[in-house]
């Protein structure tokens, strides 16, 4: 099927012919939808921790954090282009010589919000300064012309070119003394909970296109942030490996080739980042998206929720390790096996299944050991207030085993009325706020690639040069890539979720002083 030229291209990409063939078979077979049993809720897969218990978990983390190696892992490779979609459309569609701007705005709510809040944007002064540099008589223009030139100055590649920026390096928050980026805010926030002995490790996954920009920003802010927080920062970066790219095929299941006859390989989504995560050797790994970042004062208020999740993980991990060491012993009493069973079911949310009860004591010990000896993640869940995105569900696999998972809406068959009903009535959703334990009870790091549900991949339809192609996205980082971890879900306030999906989100209170 592949020519010698194809094979050379595949090898140069860090892939193998066998791997590409496997990808093609997966795309051809179509997407495998998750089988939802029910939505997780408070008392049924989601912990609600208040009062003294909450303070105990926070205190547990505070007491142990200086004896732990900790890192904050931040997926940060996304470009900011989609933040400005409606503004790119405005530049394309609106001609001040042919249309009244009030009429255009009346049909575009996003633009109305943007223009009415201009002066609150963190980059307002930078844009105005650049405009006057390019157009000296800017103030003499009409309102319509000024509006278009403001947007053009933000986005034009010969001016500020914000659409090219990675989201993490856009101006995010305006303080009395300076304007900060999301990257700088992540450093500041790490000092509040993701540090040990006045030292904080952060790892950002970025695009190699933006590597120099991130290096320059780190050099620019590091000394100042260290002084403000009395914390030493160790910051590392990695790129999504080309070997995680996936083949594209046509809608008729043929290989797609460009005009030069080359195969097309595409980035495979954030699920590819499990490879980057797998290189980190730390006791605790906090995960948070680059754009879910508020002003520092509000981060201070939210940091106890991170400590709560870390405390829950440490408590669960401590008991898990204790039971694993017990199972290493030659003789384990039946009563002790029963206690381990209860822990696995009630604390690790593992459904044992009917076949388990027919096993011999020795077989039960082996089964429980396998269930206990896995990476652990504690995931924050917020109440569902209509935000888009995945959520926590009890899911049944093809073998009839039920487990607690984070499921994206793209994994749900909304043509199935029962599945649609379960999804629409979910009480919580996933804000991508996690803390992970990736070492076993002997202190050795797990190989995280052994815990992926490869069938939880996404099949998407894209257009390439006017041709419909089918593309494969690997199982999402906190979805299928962590499907076989032990998962504990904890309710956290919705105030901890403030992502910047469009430029107008920067006008919301969480991003204003």
DSSP string, 380-435: EEEE-SS--S-EEEEEE-TTS-EEEEEE-GGGS-TTSHHHHHHHHT-SEE--SEEE
Domains contained in the chain, CATH given: 4-80+166-315+424-495+506-511 (3.90.550.10), 81-164 (no CATH)
Q: For position 330, what pLDDT does the model report? A: 72
Of 186, 195, 150, 189, nearest to 167 by C-alpha is: 186
From residue 1, how far is each of 5, 18, 24, 492 by CA, in Å?
A: 12, 12, 12, 51
Q: Which helix (H) or strand (E) holds 75?
A: strand 70-75
Q: Name the CA dihedral angle for 338, 344, 345, 348, rounded to a multiple of 10 degrees.
A: 160
Using CA atoms, how far residue 427 sits from 270, 449, 455, in Å, is 25, 31, 26
At residue 396, the pLDDT reads: 96
| DSSP code per residue over 338-387 | HHHHHHHHHTS-----GGGGGS-HHHHHHHHHHHHSS-EEEEEEEE-SS-
3-state SS, residue 129: helix
Identify the pLDDT of residue 31. Answer: 83
Res 388: pLDDT: 62
The DSSP secondary-structure symbol of 461 reads: E
Ranges under pLDDT 50 in the chain: none
| Residue 253, Ramachandran bin (φ over 0: left; ψ between -120 and 50: alpha; else beta) | left
């Amino acid at each position: 099927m592949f020519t010698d030229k194809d094979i050379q291209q595949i090898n140069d990409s860090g892939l193998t012919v066998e791997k590409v063939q496997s990808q093609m078979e997966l795309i051809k077979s179509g997407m495998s939808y998750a089988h939802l049993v029910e939505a997780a809720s408070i008392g049924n897969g989601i912990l609600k921790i208040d009062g003294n218990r909450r303070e105990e978990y926070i205190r547990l983390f505070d007491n142990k954090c200086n004896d732990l190696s900790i890192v904050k892992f931040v997926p940060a490779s996304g470009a900011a282009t989609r933040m400005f979609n409606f503004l790119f459309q405005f530049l394309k569609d609106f001609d001040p010589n042919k249309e009244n701007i009030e009429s255009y705005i009346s049909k575009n709510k996003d633009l109305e919000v943007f223009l009415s809040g201009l002066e609150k944007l963190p980059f307002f002064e930078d844009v105005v300064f650049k405009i006057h540099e390019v157009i000296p008589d800017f103030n003499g223009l009409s309102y319509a012309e000024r509006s278009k030139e403001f947007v053009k100055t933000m986005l034009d590649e010969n001016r500020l070119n914000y659409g090219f920026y990675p989201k993490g390096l856009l101006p995010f928050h305006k303080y009395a003394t300076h304007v900060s980026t999301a990257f700088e805010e992540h450093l500041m926030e790490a000092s509040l909970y993701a540090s040990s002995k006045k030292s904080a490790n952060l790892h950002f996954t970025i695009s190699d296109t933006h590597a120099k920009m991130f290096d320059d920003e780190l050099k620019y802010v590091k000394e100042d942030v260290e002084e403000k927080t009395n914390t030493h920062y160790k910051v590392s970066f990695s790129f999504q490996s080309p070997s995680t790219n996936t083949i594209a095929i046509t809608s008729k299941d043929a290989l797609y080739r460009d005009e030069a006859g080359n195969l097309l390989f595409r980035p495979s989504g954030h699920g590819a980042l499990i490879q980057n995560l797998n290189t980190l050797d730390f006791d605790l790994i906090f995960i948070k998206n680059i754009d879910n970042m508020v002003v520092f004062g509000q981060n201070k208020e939210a940091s106890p929720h991170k400590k709560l999740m870390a405390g829950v993980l440490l408590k669960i991990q401590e008991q898990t390790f204790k039971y694993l060491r017990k199972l290493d012993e030659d003789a384990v009493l039946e009563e002790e096996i029963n206690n381990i069973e209860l822990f696995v079911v009630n604390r690790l949310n593992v459904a044992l299944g009917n076949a388990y009860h027919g096993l011999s004591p020795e077989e039960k010990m082996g089964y429980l050991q396998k269930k206990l000896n896995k990476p652990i993640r504690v995931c924050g869940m917020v109440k569902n207030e209509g935000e888009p995105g995945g959520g926590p569900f009890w899911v049944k696999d093809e073998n009839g085993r039920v487990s607690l998972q984070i499921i994206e809406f793209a994994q749900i068959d909304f043509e199935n009325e029962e599945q649609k009903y379960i999804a629409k009535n979910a009480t919580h959703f996933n804000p991508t706020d996690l803390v992970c334990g990736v070492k076993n009870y002997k202190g050795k790091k797990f190989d995280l690639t052994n815990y992926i549900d490869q069938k939880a991949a996404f099949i998407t339809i894209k257009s390439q040069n006017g041709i419909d192609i089918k593309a494969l996205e690997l199982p999402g980082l906190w979805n299928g890539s962590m499907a076989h971890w032990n998962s504990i879900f904890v309710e956290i306030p919705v105030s901890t979720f403030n992502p910047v999906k469009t430029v107008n989100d920067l006008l919301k209170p969480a991003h204003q002083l």
